[in-house]
Structure 1
């Protein structure tokens, strides 16, 4: 991030995003007040930097007025590949104004960008211009034009305002990515894992008084939910209330299939529950002869359990590692509950 602090870096990225979102008037007022405070404190160097930002913002404000008179839209895409994961940021720009941004994380492959664009624009109309870091194959540009109903331009800018948009998308991507790295690093250290837990799968069981029992599995990749990899399981071998047996069935079905298909295993498994749930899941992994790091998270005090230890790990529930586990567990619980409700709704309608 150069010589500026991470806080300043994020502040600048936030201000740039606000400017592109058309909030220039309130941003100018805020910056002018901040510049006056810096001058009063005799922090003249920072005040001059703020003055330059104000001038650039005023120039941008003038250009936005011109841009808004044009009726075209743009999508700006930046991405970063880290190991087996791709982190992608997409800016939606309409008439020179940033309308929104979307973040995605998914598995890396040789054709990941093409696959993403085909899936994304099969569900929504493409813009008139796509701004990217690398050129697209003509067949993909033709697909976008077909979806749009007219020509779509794919641009790889080297300078100018479009390059500034691309750089801003990159900065937002990096700002979010560094935050995810901190979570992963904290969890690896807290659990004393040999490698960073880039891919984590978490299991939860949901039922209504022993009926409509379901299992859920969510996957987090690189610190973010990878919803394309979520799985849900209708419990088949258990009747009545038996969370341990239901959890065992879910874990067995998930990893026996991955093993049979020779797919990659996760770096860490998280179980919603205490020592009993952990033991049930661990027994299934051992039966499959799989050695995957596994922990459980008990709801009441957010205690973290690992195999071979009598008590919970010394991790406070306010620590980053615990908060990340809670985030994953809560998502698994939400997903399981949603599936349980869906089954109940279908049963009522039938």
Structure 2
């Protein structure tokens, strides 16, 4: 697999799955930031340090990803996916396929331990986790929050206090400073946090910190503050998926862009996420997302071998009774379609929606990278073009109080800008402000003479403007016998597409076709403004050069051709000016002295340059 074949990854935590050509999972990994972690598999230094990374990337044919709210959620999701797929490159599988657990022992003074098996000796188990290091990190974090002992089983009272007790990191069961009952109560709080219920523990720590501050025990108050901060890190990274008890359900998320829609479904069994599936659908332009959901329900669950009793959807379906009856018949039991408004299931729905959007954007970006820009297909459809508009030319007019009127032409090939094919035009036949006449001139010049001979004809012409500008361009094309060239305009304020016949087309805001037209229009506007500023600067420079002795029309023209702006002229070295034909060292020195620029010996410039 090449790095260029990777999907576009959002800068978020999540889980990634390397797959081979038949679609089997080769490796499941987690990441704090998906792009950074996945790209490391293609970094030569990383591949030399860990050869396995190179083997995975070389054998893989594609990569999928699932975003999560945080890294710990990614850790737990990674665990479930590794258990489901048993990928050959995940190290955990080599340890007798036994996943590590976090356990609380049943001793009078319990401990947090790592174990490979769920024994029946009274331990309370939590997990499993994908690898032992994850369990150790969780234990270390819990030891930061709670004053639990880290040594072996407490024995006889030692003669002196240990360092952990002095630092308030241990409650001192070895010293008899805490009873077994008190210590059991402490571990009840530990268990609450492991399960994700931190509210009561937070309130208790906050109250203890307030009391310590009131008693002027600021050292202990600072310790409690640090524990609260550690607790907040745990609370901010818990996995919402484990808060479902033993419930079985599927969660659907949907996203639309142009003619494409993506539905992602997450499978939760006995309160844990066990997998995910997704479908990219075409023909969704102008269709409501509920229609895409209904189509997915009918097609996907029509082939499913088992269904849960509850399916969460992000919005009600138009005709929910029919799909519900169909699903119930398929499942042989009552299936409920529900859109949660509040409660612990809302975050699950948000996760599915977020992943559907990220997945759709990734798929579209990948299509564009491969030259299969979906916006072009949508443009062909909405504008009823005979072929996909591979070459799009955008035009804009720019002027300032009727002076230095210019036009720009930008070219997009396959949806991407082609800077080498951009063109600028100085309007010759128009006096004052007349955008319509200016557009007529530039369209005539573009499609006649040497420019028309040297460049390919466009598949679509886009005008930055409304009906007047489009009408002027249409008139020029008609007189040249080019009525067959597709022509549209895009008004700035309303973002309405103006067709050649003057009719209007309003595209949805999420339309890929509209996004591409906006990109072409904005680039044409930027290019025209840039050219106009350069001409304006040259106009000012011309008046400045007229005041310098020895600078006639020829030398002035030569200098203005060499330097695009006043700032360039001001900052030019003396030697660069002197090398210009017909200028020489003495004339160059007079220019620099007049401007007071670098190399003149003056302290201040003779004119100001406004920053842009």
**TM bracket (short chain):** 0.5 to 0.7
Shift of 1:340: 0.1
Tell me, yes or no, if the aligned pair for 1:315 and 1:322 is still in contact at 8 Å.
yes
Q: Which residue of 2 aligns with 1:44?
A: 83
Superposed, 1:1-350 pairs within 5 Å as 9-11=7-9, 14=35, 15-20=37-42, 36-41=75-80, 44-46=83-85, 48=87, 51=90, 176-178=368-370, 181-257=373-449, 261=453, 263-290=455-482, 291-309=484-502, 311-350=503-542
Tell me, yes or no, if the aligned pair for 1:203 and 1:215 is still in contact at 8 Å.
yes
Tell me, yes or no, if the aligned pair for 2:82 and 2:90 is still in contact at 8 Å.
no
CA distance in 2, matches of 1:307, 1:227: 27
Shift of 1:292: 0.3
* Structure having greater relative contact order (Cα 8 Å, sep ≥ 6): 1
Is the radius of gyration larger for structure 1 or structure 2?
A: 2
Judging changes above 3 Å, is the alpha-carbon distance between structure 1 residues 322 and 42 closer, same or farther for their aligned structure 2 residues? closer
CA distance in 2, matches of 1:331, 1:39: 43
After superposing on structure 2, the runs of 4+ consecutive aligned residues of structure 1 that deviate more than 6 Å are 22-25
Shift of 1:222: 0.7
Judging changes above 3 Å, is the alpha-carbon distance between structure 1 residues 260 and 299 closer, same or farther for their aligned structure 2 residues? closer
CA distance in 1, matches of 2:509, 2:524: 18
CA distance in 2, matches of 1:16, 1:180: 24
Cα deviation digits, residues 60-84 of structure 1 (max 9, x gap) = xxxxxxxxxxxxxxxxxxxxxxxxx
CA distance in 1, matches of 2:393, 2:525: 13
Shift of 1:253: 0.4
CA distance in 2, matches of 1:47, 1:257: 67
Tell me, yes or no, if the aligned pair for 2:474 and 2:487 is still in contact at 8 Å.
yes
Tell me, yes or no, if the aligned pair for 1:218 and 1:331 is still in contact at 8 Å.
yes
The DSSP-based 3-state class of the residue aligned with 2:478 is: helix
Tell me, yes or no, if the aligned pair for 2:462 and 2:488 is still in contact at 8 Å.
yes
The DSSP-based 3-state class of the residue aligned with 1:241 is: coil
Shift of 1:189: 1.4
CA distance in 1, matches of 2:408, 2:420: 13
Judging changes above 3 Å, is the alpha-carbon distance between structure 1 residues 41 and 223 closer, same or farther for their aligned structure 2 residues? same
Shift of 1:314: 3.2
Judging changes above 3 Å, is the alpha-carbon distance between structure 1 residues 17 and 329 closer, same or farther for their aligned structure 2 residues? same
Tell me, yes or no, if the aligned pair for 1:252 and 1:284 is still in contact at 8 Å.
yes
Larger proportion of strand: 1
Tell me, yes or no, if the aligned pair for 1:258 and 1:265 is still in contact at 8 Å.
no
With normalisation by structure 1, the TM-score equals: 0.56
Q: Which residue of 1 aligns with 2:287?
A: none
The DSSP-based 3-state class of the residue aligned with 1:249 is: helix
With normalisation by structure 2, the TM-score equals: 0.33
RMSD of equivalent CA atoms: 3.7
CA distance in 2, matches of 1:183, 1:49: 39
Shift of 1:191: 1.0
Tell me, yes or no, if the aligned pair for 2:466 and 2:491 is still in contact at 8 Å.
yes
Aligned residues: 224
Tell me, yes or no, if the aligned pair for 1:201 and 1:218 is still in contact at 8 Å.
yes
CA distance in 2, matches of 1:21, 1:342: 43
Judging changes above 3 Å, is the alpha-carbon distance between structure 1 residues 49 and 241 closer, same or farther for their aligned structure 2 residues? farther
Tell me, yes or no, if the aligned pair for 1:209 and 1:241 is still in contact at 8 Å.
yes
Give the gaps of 5 or more residues in structure 2.
10-15, 17-33, 54-67, 92-364, 543-612
CA distance in 2, matches of 1:269, 1:260: 14
CA distance in 1, matches of 2:518, 2:42: 34
Judging changes above 3 Å, is the alpha-carbon distance between structure 1 residues 51 and 269 closer, same or farther for their aligned structure 2 residues? same
Tell me, yes or no, if the aligned pair for 1:201 and 1:219 is still in contact at 8 Å.
yes
The DSSP-based 3-state class of the residue aligned with 1:261 is: helix
